[in-house]
Amino acid sequence: MMLSFRATVSLFVGLFLWLAVQGVYAAGPIFTPAAPSVAASSYYLMDFNSGRVLAEKDPDKRVAPASLTKIMTVYVVFRELKAGHLTLDEKVTISQNAWETGGSKMFVEVNKQVAIEDLLQGVVIQSGNDASVALAEHVAGSEQTFATMMNEQASRLGMANSNFENATGLPMPNHYSSAHDLAILAQALIKEFPDYYRWDSQKEFTYNGITQQNRNQLLWRDASVDGVKTGFTDDAGYCMVASAKREDMRLIAVVMGAASPNARANESQSLLNYGFRFFETHRLYEAGKVLSEARVRKGETSKLSVGVAEDVFVTAPRKHFNELKAESQVDKAVLAPINKGDTVGTLNITLAGETILSKPLVAMDSIAEGGFFRRLYDAVVVMLEK
């Protein structure tokens, strides 16, 4: 059933007051310029907080990810650190296999012991293939087993068009990802590991007397850019996952298959500028705050506080936030017992008649079953309401 008129009005009034505080008043026709032309085989531009897609081309096309693979490599290691299975100062013995790995290098030496923190910076900043293999072997015993861990995380995150066969991104027949999947991965990495993500904005790293610069050219061009990773192989072309934060808005841009290092930087910058120029993102509702009440049947109490389990961010064309409409729909029959966090409805945010965001409405409290007569009475009421 719909929430009461009073509860629905409360949602609208809350949204209107929030907009008034932001200084957004005048409504007008919605016009958003088309995304810029991007010279890449595929690309994806997404708001970090709301997840709204602002521009895309062949986002689910399976392509060689090159060194963008290493975003997943460090993500897996970060999770192992968080779980307490590793420590940053833990030493890794460099194998002959890791040392021999071709491509970009951190220049670790065989049988030397290197701290995990140094190896991670060697992967993130220097894109070291040798460091990637050394971490994979230390965490999982072999790079092949580590790839299984990578694929487990890809599945958990919903990366439906990704399969990893190694920790480096060196070409293999069944090693692929997509622009969409890499945006999902970057979003998870930034959200879950902000302390480690700081390395992505580091412009250079020195190890064994050798200083190498971060290949992300945007770190020098745009102060709002703070990550994430570049990649290149003959199969993949020049690729980049870039993230930037301006005021309270963060965007993630993925560009696959550009023609040169300058092209991938230019195209990524073009996408980021487009997103920041023509869209804005704000938090509308806070996690855990009560938005309204729902009527409960067969419970020891008849009223249930309803809200959202996580902060609700909305991305919309600039200067059109005052045209957003919020509607809360509760399930037709909310019956006890109810556990805190149970989904009991949906919060829909629309703009010009189009739903731009839907979030589950959840129970803010638990409600046990009522006594026999309460359950009997409500059972009759439920039958009459059908």
pLDDT value, residue 10: 44
Positive or negative torsion for Cα 8, 14, 15, 20: positive
Q: Is the pLDDT of residue 16 over 60?
A: no
Of 22, 56, 51, 72, give the one whose Cα is nearest residue 250.
51
CB neighbour list of residue 284: distance below 8 Å, 6 or more residues apart: 15, 18, 312, 313, 314, 324, 326, 349
Q: Which of 42, 50, 67, 243 is catalytic?
A: 67
* Per-residue pLDDT reduced to its tens digit, 175-214: 999 999 999 999 999 999 999 999 999 999 999 999 999 9
pLDDT beyond 80 at 26: no
37 occurs within a structural domain:
no
Question: Are both 241 and 313 inside the same structural domain?
Answer: no
Q: Is the model's pLDDT at 297 over the cut of 70?
A: no
Q: Tell me, what's the pLDDT at 21?
A: 37
Query: Domain tally for the chain?
Result: 2
**Can you tell me the mean pLDDT for 92-118?**
97
Residue 44 parent element (H or E): strand 42-47
pLDDT tens, residue by residue, 37-65: 999 999 999 999 999 999 999 999 999 99
Q: What is the pLDDT of residue 106?
A: 97
How would residue 298 be classed by pLDDT, with cut points 50, 70 and 90? low
95 catalytic? Reply is no
Quote the pLDDT of residue 7: 44
Please report the pLDDT score of residue 365 as a whole number: 87
Whether 215 and 317 map to the same domain: the answer is no
User: What is the DSSP code string of 162-205?
Assistant: -B-S-SS----TT-BB-HHHHHHHHHHHHHH-HHHHGGGG--EE
Same-domain pairing of 113 and 211: yes
CB contact at 8 A, 187 and 70: no
Is 185 part of a structural domain of the chain?
yes
Which of 212-221, 286-295, 322-331 is modeled with the greatest confidence? 212-221
What pLDDT is recorded for position 19? 42
Cα–Cα nearest to 109, from 122, 336, 51: 122
Domain shared by 197 and 307, yes or no: no
CATH of residue 358: 2.60.410.10
7-21, 213-227, 370-384: range with lowest mean pLDDT? 7-21
Q: Does residue 24 have a pLDDT over 80?
A: no
The mean per-residue pLDDT over the stretch 152-161 comes to 98
- Examine the domain organization and report whether 157 and 302 are in the same domain: no
Q: Which of 227, 252, 279 is the last residue of a domain?
A: 279
Residues 66 and 121 occupy one common structural domain: yes
C-alpha to C-alpha distance for 65 and 147, rounded to whole angstroms? 14
300 CB neighbour count, 10 Å cutoff: 14
Percentage of the chain beyond pLDDT 70 is 87
Say which residue, 244 or 324, is predicted with more confidence.
244
Judgement on whether residues 153 and 297 belong to the same structural domain of the protein:
no
338 vs 38, higher pLDDT: 38
- The answer as to whether 207 is a domain residue is yes
319 is catalytic: no
| Annotated catalytic residue, options 70, 229, 298, 359 | 70
Give the per-residue pLDDT at 225: 98
Looking up residue 62, the CATH number of its domain turns out to be 3.40.710.10
**Is the residue at 268 inside a domain?**
yes
Q: Are residues 275 and 290 in the same domain?
A: no
What number of CA atoms fall less than 13 Å from residue 214's CA on the CB side? 25
| Beta bridge partners of residue 244, listed in sequence order | 225, 251
- pLDDT at 377 (0 to 100): 47
Section 296-303 average pLDDT = 71
> In the predicted model, what is the mean pLDDT of the chain?
88
Catalytic residue (choose from 42, 104, 127, 270): 127
Q: Is 268 a catalytic residue?
A: no
Residues 6+ apart with CB under 8 A from 5: none
| Average pLDDT value for residue range 21-38 | 64
- Average pLDDT over every residue of 263-273: 98
pLDDT at 20: 38
Same domain, 242 and 335: no
- Of the residues 233, 257, 279, the one at which a domain ends: 279
Asked whether residue 314 falls in the same domain as residue 165, the answer is: no
Q: How confident is the model at residue 371 (pLDDT cuts 50, 70, 90)?
A: low
**Local confidence band at 332 (pLDDT 50, 70, 90 cut-offs):** confident
What pLDDT sits at residue 326?
Answer: 87
Residues 241, 347, single domain; the answer is no
Domain contains 48: yes
pLDDT at 374: 52
The whole-number pLDDT of residue 328 equals 84
197 inside domain? yes
For residue 351, what are the domain limits? 5-26+286-385
DSSP, res 299: B
In a domain, residue 32? The reply is: no
Q: Are residues 223 and 100 in the same domain?
A: yes
**Of the residues 279, 313, 348, which one is the last residue of a structural domain?**
279
